[in-house]
C-alpha cells in the first residue's frame, strides 16, 4: 500500500495509522524520525517506509493466489485509509509448477479473464503478469512466477514491480494539475497578447496603467508557477525511476502480451509529454511577461526622462528671465537710491551754504551723482554675492 498522508505519519500520539496498527498487535512504536521500520505482526511481516511524499506499507505472508481477498491486512485498520490510498497491490509469488500454463489460462484463473500485461523477467528466470485493474477491494493484482530465482532475487524483482506501479501513479499526479493549468495559460497568453497589441499604439499617459495591469498578471502567473513547479519536477523524477526499474527487469517478450515497457510508453509517456508541454508554456509565458514588463518600464523611464528634461529646460528659461528681471531691478534700484541720496546731499549743501560756507550747490550735487551711484551699485552687488554664497552653503 502506498498512502499519501495529510500530515506526518509519526505525529500525534495514538492518531497515526502506523501507531494504530502496531497497538493492535501490542508492538512498540518506532522512534520518532524513523524512515524504515520492519516488524512481525502475528503470522505476517510488516515493512514500513516513509518517503518524501508517501508512506509505503508492505505486508508479507504465506497464502494462495486464489485467495486474493485473504485477510493479510486488518480490515478495520484498512478502513481508516479511505481516500488516502494512492496505490494498493495484492502480489503473489508462485513456483514454476503452479504457473506452467498458457497466458489465457493464467488470466482466467487469477485475473478474471482480463487482458494481461507482462513479460519474462530477470533473464528469463521468472514471469511477471498483471492486468493493471483496480478490483472492488481497491487493490490491483500482480503475479510473479518464479522459474529459477532465489528468494532474495525474487524479492528484488517483486520490489521493482511494486515500485513501477507506485512511481507510475506518482508521476501521473502531474496530469490533472497540468489540465487545470492549461486554460489558465490560455487566458494569460490572451491577456499578454492584448497588452502587447495595446502597447503598440498606447499613449504615454496610459503606460503606467498598462504596467500595473501587466504586473498583476505576472504576479498571478508566478503564483500558479510556484504551485505547479514542484509537482512537475517531482513527476519528472518519478518517471525516470519508472524507466529505470523497467530496465532493471530485463524484460523478454511473451507472445501476444504487452510488456511493462510498452504499457508505460503507451499510457504514461503521453501524460508526461502533456505536463512537460504545459510546464514549458508556463515558463515561456513568464519569460514573455518579464520581457514585456522590462520594455514597458523602459518606455516609462524614457518618458519620465523626457518630462524631466522639459521641466529642467523650462526652469532654466525661468531662471534666465529672473536674472534679466533682477538686473533690471538692480539698475532701477541704483537709480532710485542715487536720486534720493543726491537729493539729500543737495539739501545738506544748502544748509551748509546758509551758515556762510561758500560753495556751488549745483557742482556739489552733480559731483556726488557718480560717487553715490558707484557706491550703491557696489553695495547691492556685494549683498547679492553674499546671499548667493549662503544659498550654496
Q: Determine the structural domain holding residue 290 and report its residue range.
A: 174-311
**In this structure, is residue 71 part of a structural domain?**
yes
Beta bridge partners of residue 85, listed in sequence order:
3
* Domain identity same for 33 and 159: yes
pLDDT at residue 268 in the model: 94
Which of these three, 311, 337, 363, is where a domain ends?
Answer: 311
pLDDT at residue 142 in the model: 95
pTM (2 decimals)?
0.73
* Domain identity same for 185 and 255: yes
* Domain identity same for 180 and 299: yes
Beta bridge partners of residue 2, listed in sequence order:
56, 87
| Euclidean distance between the first and the last CA atom of the chain, given in angstroms as a whole number | 81
pLDDT at residue 276 in the model: 95
pLDDT at residue 243 in the model: 96
Q: How many structural domains compose the chain?
A: 3
* Domain identity same for 331 and 283: no
pLDDT at residue 115 in the model: 94
Tens-place pLDDT, residues 216-275: 888 888 888 888 999 999 999 999 999 999 999 999 999 999 999 999 989 999 999 999
**In this structure, is residue 317 part of a structural domain?**
no
Task: Kindly list the distances between the CA atom of residue 275 and the CA atoms of 77, 174, 300, in Å, as whole numbers in the listed order.
Answer: 36, 6, 37
Q: Angle of helix 260-354 relative to helix 174-201, nearest 10 degrees?
A: 40
The helix (H) or strand (E) run that includes residue 40 is strand 36-41
* Domain identity same for 192 and 145: no
* Domain identity same for 143 and 182: no
The residue ranges of the chain whose pLDDT is under 70 are 6-15, 64-71, 82-83, 98-100, 201-206, 390-393
Tens-place pLDDT, residues 323-338: 777 777 777 777 888 8
* Domain identity same for 159 and 178: no
* Domain identity same for 44 and 79: yes
Amino acid at each position: 500500500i502506498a498512502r499519501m498522508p495529510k500530515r506526518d505519519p509519526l505525529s500525534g500520539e495514538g492518531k497515526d495509522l502506523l501507531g494504530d496498527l502496531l497497538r493492535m498487535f501490542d508492538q512498540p512504536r518506532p522512534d520518532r524520525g524513523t524512515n524504515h521500520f520492519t516488524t512481525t505482526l502475528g503470522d505476517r511481516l510488516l515493512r514500513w517506509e516513509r518517503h518524501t511524499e508517501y508512506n509505503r506499507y508492505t505486508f508479507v505472508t504465506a497464502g494462495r493466489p486464489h485467495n486474493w481477498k485473504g485477510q493479510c491486512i486488518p480490515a478495520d485498520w484498512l478502513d481508516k485509509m479511505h481516500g488516502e490510498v494512492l496505490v494498493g497491490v495484492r502480489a503473489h509469488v508462485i513456483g514454476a509448477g503452479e504457473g506452467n500454463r498458457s497466458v489465457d489460462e493464467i488470466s482466467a484463473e487469477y485475473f478474471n479473464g482480463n487482458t494481461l500485461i507482462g513479460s519474462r523477467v530477470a533473464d528469463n528466470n521468472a514471469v511477471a503478469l498483471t492486468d493493471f485493474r483496480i478490483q472492488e477491494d481497491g487493490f490491483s493484482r500482480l503475479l510473479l512466477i518464479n522459474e529459477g530465482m532465489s528468494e532474495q532475487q525474487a524479492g528484488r524483482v517483486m520490489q521493482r514491480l511494486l515500485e513501477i506501479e507506485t512511481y507510475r501513479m506518482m508521476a501521473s499526479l502531474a496530469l490533472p494539475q497540468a489540465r487545470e493549468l492549461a486554460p489558465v495559460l490560455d487566458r494569460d497568453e490572451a491577456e499578454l497578447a492584448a497588452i502587447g497589441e495595446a502597447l503598440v499604439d498606447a499613449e504615454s499617459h496610459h503606460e503606467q496603467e498598462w504596467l500595473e495591469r501587466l504586473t498583476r498578471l505576472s504576479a498571478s502567473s508566478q503564483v500558479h508557477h510556484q504551485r505547479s513547479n514542484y509537482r512537475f519536477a517531482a513527476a519528472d523524477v518519478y518517471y525516470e525511476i519508472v524507466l529505470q526499474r523497467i530496465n532493471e527487469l530485463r524484460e523478454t517478450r511473451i507472445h501476444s502480451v504487452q510488456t511493462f515497457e510498452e504499457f508505460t510508453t503507451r499510457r504514461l509517456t503521453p501524460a508526461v509529454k502533456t505536463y512537460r508541454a504545459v510546464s514549458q508554456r508556463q515558463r515561456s509565458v513568464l519569460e514573455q511577461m518579464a520581457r514585456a514588463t522590462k520594455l514597458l518600464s523602459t518606455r516609462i523611464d524614457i518618458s519620465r526622462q523626457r518630462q524631466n528634461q522639459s521641466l529642467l529646460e523650462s526652469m532654466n528659461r525661468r531662471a534666465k528671465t529672473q536674472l534679466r528681471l533682477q538686473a533690471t531691478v538692480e539698475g532701477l534700484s541704483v537709480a532710485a537710491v542715487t536720486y534720493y541720496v543726491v537729493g539729500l546731499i543737495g539739501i545738506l549743501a544748502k544748509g551748509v551754504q546758509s551758515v556762510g560756507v561758500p560753495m556751488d550747490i549745483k557742482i556739489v550735487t552733480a559731483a556726488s551723482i557718480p560717487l553715490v551711484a558707484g557706491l550703491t551699485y557696489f553695495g547691492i552687488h556685494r549683498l547679492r554675492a553674499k546671499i548667493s554664497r549662503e544659498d550654496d552653503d
